[in-house]
A and B are shown apart, each in its own frame.
Chain A
């Protein structure tokens, strides 16, 4: 009955969007009531929807086509992050040197550690490239992975993983190692967990949102520019 209903295109579109938003809001309210960080609405919604699709034997492509509306909002949502960035622009321009330095070091470490560790453990160039790019936002990472003959499917997968891992573990871990400044937390999570991390910390404060969006953009630019050279250099080295 349910599967039949979902086969109708318009109905399934409305159903997919409404159900996703309702589920997300439900988990969000629950999370606030229980005060449980691990009950991350994004992650829980994804797990629930995934199990539902598998259980009902609905393909991902079908769900994705039905939820096009949410996906269409993705770009405006990322653009909206320009607002917190604008509000903190004056403090950011004062510190641009140190921010740039930290993010350069971050991007460099992200690429080198992932690439070298993967080469040592798995020994496959295409996978190593894919994992080296996992900390930047999806469209950029996929494009670079394609240029460097990396495995784009693994890139997409690792990006989602890195995003959720940083979004979930990032804030409590950073607090634990005494990184309490919202600026430092925002930068770290934006650099490690791109847009997914940014979306999550944007909930905490506006300062988080501003610095995380900044790290998201700057890391993407740095990685897009330098990763081909770094990876070529590492290949000749290994």
Chain B
């Protein structure tokens, strides 16, 4: 917990001096980095972090309820915005997914030819 909070704080400092990214993303990268260079012991904090990642969805609920503040927008532009969002998200999912899957298949074949049943 101390490890995460110190990364949150450091991330905020980074965001203040280089406002390209929000603090939480700097924090994420710092956390990965500090684990990698073993400033923090990964085995010791593993259990609490696994638990946190599994249940992090609940933290997004209040922000999501915020949709109710935008009801007038939905009424104004009707279903068009919703449809555009759905369709473009769909296209994006499909393209990135298919693209990387093809790459992953190639990798599998190169790595262990024949030994891998897919």
Contacts and interface: CB of A to CB of B under 8 A. Distances in A.
Give the bracket for the number of chain B residues in contact with chain A.
35 or more
Contact of A81 (B28, B58, B74, B104): B28
A98 B81 contact: no
Interface in B45-59: 45-46, 49-50, 52-54, 56-59
B41 to A, nearest CB: 12
B96 A102 contact: yes
A86 B32 CA distance: 5
Interface of A: 20-21, 24-25, 41-43, 45-46, 49-50, 53-54, 60, 63-64, 67, 70-71, 73-87, 89, 95, 98-99, 102-103, 105-106, 109-110, 113-114, 117-118, 121-122, 127, 131, 134-135, 137-140, 143, 153-154, 156-158, 160-162, 164-166, 169-170, 173-174, 177-181, 183-185, 187-189, 191-193, 195-196, 199-200, 202-203, 209, 213, 215-217, 220-221, 224-225
Nearest to B1: A76
23 contacts: A70-B62, A76-B52, A79-B4, A79-B8, A80-B56, A81-B56, A82-B27, A95-B103, A103-B96, A117-B88, A121-B80, A131-B88, A134-B85, A161-B82, A162-B89, A177-B94, A179-B101, A183-B104, A184-B101, A188-B97, A199-B59, A200-B57, A220-B25
